[in-house]
């Protein structure tokens, strides 16, 4: 990308950032214990694609063969099982995926459902288009609610549904790609040429084995806490994300201990509810002094609709500096896909600001998983390639509340190519 284009992109982005940060407050009743049964009932209605529909796309060279995607998803199921499905045994994948379509009615994602004794417990979402050098886009410890209108139409708010007009999403990706993103696009061409060559000579299973992969993973020690991972603050995404981040390092605020999920002795103290069906807990924003003070510093409520609950980056940084005893928030300039991964591997969690149109949304990333593939051609030609990086993220429920899920999930950084996003790093003062 030349300098003029780069400056133009950032000028447009920074102009947009004047109105950021989850204008919509997550609807608490949508993730309350009262409707757990209804949500579970809806999750049984999964619109699997049939073989005939899937084979209609076999002639399209830009679409990944779903059988190969499933073979690779089976590898990923094993790789991610310990973290996301550790309480489950005898896991398998659905034979056919749910297709999430793009605006041209071609597959954008394949959603393979993780099954435990026939019960849907998770989702491995694969890239259905040969746009990136890899297979798996997201790994969820939940199943989306497919009864929602446009649940199988792609939007940049994925896994949430976006705004759909006339049968199409009105959400479009950023047209101008950074130099780093363009490089990934070029790597994708080489990757799929090699895969397609192998696939034409072998079956899907041997192709999947042919792409021998191994992962390197890392989670910041403070976040290796299952009770923390099952606890959320419900509210505007800026202060809610910071409240959760605060609790990872500091158990008390203004002399009051903040309990985590499963600490039932304290569930009455600060009025946070425990959903025993989904095994999660959450604090109500009106009750939590930590959230209230962070929201004040983030200037939530000072703006006008529809941006009343938005948080500006400068206010986010002020909130951390004033309320966190020993931490500050740095960064916010650059679209480097690798920046989040590098920060986390240096024990610094990051706040990611992601465009989920029409809002920008703050999420916390605190873990990574990196994939390296080896390609063998003949007896001696071997090439090692770093193909994928996933970040382990959590949010306040804005993108996952409709599924009554508050658990973290893995997002491949390739999945945000073309989207506006900014990385802020939590560091020591």
The full DSSP string for 59-111 is T-TTB--HHHHHHHHHHHHHHHHHHHSTT--SEEE-SSPEEEE-TTSSEEEEE
Domain region containing 116: 40-213
Query: Both 115 and 235 in a single domain?
Result: no
Q: Is residue 16 part of a domain?
A: no
pTM for this predicted structure: 0.81
Whether 35 shows a pLDDT value over 60: the answer reads no
d(CA 422, CA 409): 19
Segment 256-310, tens digit of pLDDT: 889 888 776 555 555 666 777 777 888 877 778 899 999 999 988 765 555 566 7
Helix 237-249 / helix 289-297 crossing angle, nearest 10 deg: 120
Query: Both 159 and 291 in a single domain?
Result: no
Query: Both 95 and 156 in a single domain?
Result: yes
Query: Both 199 and 224 in a single domain?
Result: no
Q: What pLDDT is stored for residue 346 in this prediction?
A: 93
Q: Among the three residues 192, 213, 234, which one is the final residue of a domain in this structure?
A: 213
Q: Name which residue leads in pLDDT, 14 or 55.
A: 55
* Segment 347-350 long-range contacts (CB within 8 Å, at least 24 positions apart): 347/220, 347/221, 348/220, 348/425, 348/426, 348/427, 349/220, 349/223, 349/245, 349/248, 349/425, 349/426, 350/423, 350/424, 350/425, 350/426
Average pLDDT in the 154-171 region? 62
Q: Is residue 117 part of a domain?
A: yes
Burial of 149 (0-12, 13-18, 19+ CB in 10 A): exposed
Q: Is residue 414 part of a domain?
A: yes
Rg, C-alpha atoms of the chain: 21
Q: Is residue 8 part of a domain?
A: no
Segment 75-93, tens digit of pLDDT: 889 888 888 877 677 888 9
Q: Is residue 2 part of a domain?
A: no
Query: Both 88 and 171 in a single domain?
Result: yes
Q: Is residue 15 part of a domain?
A: no
Q: Among the three residues 166, 191, 213, which one is the final residue of a domain in this structure?
A: 213
d(CA 269, CA 274): 13
Query: Both 117 and 205 in a single domain?
Result: yes
Q: Name which residue leads in pLDDT, 362 or 166.
A: 362
Average pLDDT in the 200-219 region? 60
Query: Both 175 and 227 in a single domain?
Result: no
Segment 402-420, tens digit of pLDDT: 555 668 899 998 887 766 6
Q: Is residue 11 part of a domain?
A: no
Query: Both 134 and 253 in a single domain?
Result: no
Q: Among the three residues 196, 213, 230, which one is the final residue of a domain in this structure?
A: 213
Domain count, the chain: 2
Q: Give the side-chain half-sphere CA count within 13 A for 15.
A: 6
Segment 100-153, tens digit of pLDDT: 998 889 999 999 999 988 888 899 999 999 988 889 999 998 888 888 778 898
Q: Is residue 379 part of a domain?
A: yes
Query: Both 192 and 246 in a single domain?
Result: no
Could you tell me the CA-to-CA distances from 27 to 63, 214, 313, 373 in Å, in that order? 37, 40, 23, 42
Query: Both 146 and 235 in a single domain?
Result: no
Query: Both 122 and 173 in a single domain?
Result: yes
Query: Both 66 and 126 in a single domain?
Result: yes
Instruction: Average the pLDDT over each of 113-117, 317-321, 383-387 and give the range with the smallest value.
Output: 383-387
């Amino acid at each position: 990308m030349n300098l003029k284009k780069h400056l133009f992109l950032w000028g447009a982005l920074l102009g947009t950032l004047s109105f950021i940060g989850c204008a919509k407050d997550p609807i608490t009743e949508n993730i309350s214990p009262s409707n757990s049964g209804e949500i579970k009932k809806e999750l049984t209605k999964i619109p699997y694609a049939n073989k005939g529909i899937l084979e209609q796309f076999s002639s399209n060279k830009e679409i990944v063969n779903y059988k190969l995607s499933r073979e690779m998803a089976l590898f990923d199921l094993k790789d991610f099982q310990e973290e996301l499905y550790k309480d489950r045994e005898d896991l398998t994948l659905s034979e056919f995926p749910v297709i999430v379509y793009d605006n041209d009615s071609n597959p954008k994602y394949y959603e393979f459902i993780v099954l435990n004794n026939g019960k849907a417990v998770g989702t491995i979402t694969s890239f259905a288009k040969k746009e990136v050098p890899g297979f798996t886009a997201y790994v969820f410890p939940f199943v989306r609610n497919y009864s929602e209108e446009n649940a199988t139409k792609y939007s940049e708010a994925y896994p949430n549904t976006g705004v759909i007009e006339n049968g199409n999403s009105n959400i479009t990706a950023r047209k101008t790609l950074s130099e780093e993103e363009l490089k990934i696009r070029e790597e994708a061409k080489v990757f799929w040429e090699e895969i397609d060559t192998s696939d034409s000579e072998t079956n899907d299973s041997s192709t999947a084995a042919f792409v021998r992969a191994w992962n390197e993973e890392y989670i910041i020690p403070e976040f290796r806490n299952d009770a923390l991972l099952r606890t959320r603050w419900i509210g505007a995404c800026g202060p809610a994300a910071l409240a959760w981040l605060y609790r990872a390092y500091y158990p008390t605020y203004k002399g009051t201990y903040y309990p985590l999920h499963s600490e039932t002795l304290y569930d009455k103290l600060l009025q946070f509810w425990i959903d025993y069906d989904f095994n999660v807990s959450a604090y109500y924003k009106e009750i939590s002094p930590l959230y209230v003070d962070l929201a004040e510093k983030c200037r939530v409520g000072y703006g006008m609709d529809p941006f009343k609950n938005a948080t500006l980056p400068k206010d986010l940084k002020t909130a951390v500096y004033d309320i966190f005893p020993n931490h500050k928030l740095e960064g916010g300039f650059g679209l480097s896909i690798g920046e989040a991964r590098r920060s986390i591997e240096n024990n610094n969690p990051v706040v990611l600001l992601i465009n989920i149109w029409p809002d920008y949304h703050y999420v916390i990333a605190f873990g990574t998983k990196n994939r390296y593939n080896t390609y063998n051609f003949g007896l001696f030609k071997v090439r090692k390639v770093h193909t994928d990086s996933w970040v382990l993220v959590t949010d306040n429920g804005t993108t996952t509340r409709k599924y009554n899920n508050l658990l973290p999930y893995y997002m491949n950084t390739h999945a945000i190519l073309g989207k506006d996003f900014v990385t802020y790093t939590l560091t020591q003062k």
